[in-house]
Amino acid sequence: MGYFPTRLSVAPLELALLAAVLGEEGYETFACTTNGVLNDAGLLRDYDHLGGRDQDAPADEHVDDCLEFEYGRLADRTGPVLVHTHFLDPHDAYR
């Protein structure tokens, strides 16, 4: 995408993010993450569905649950899908 956020930066609204571009091409898009920094930076703004984002849950468990739910919901879909999974616990190293 050509955008590399710092801790306090936000993706400009005029920047076409991958979820928006693929969504225009008929993809259904979803993201599963526990890391709120992605949302704060505006990087999750164009997804059709967001799962996770419970910053108190271990990322591996929460993302597993999210993916299981989303795959069940998308089981009958015949078109393309963009799945963004982010397994990094926010500030896990500091806990």
Summarised one tens digit per residue, pLDDT across range 24-77 is: 999 999 888 877 777 778 888 999 988 765 556 677 777 788 888 888 878 888
pLDDT at 20: 95
Rg (CA), the chain: 14
Is residue 85 predicted with pLDDT exceeding 80? yes
pLDDT at 95: 43
**Residue bearing tokens 């990087």:** 43
pLDDT at 18: 93
Name every residue whose Cβ is closer than 8 Å to that of residue 29 and which is 6 or more positions away in sequence. 19, 22, 23, 46, 47, 48, 49, 81, 82, 84
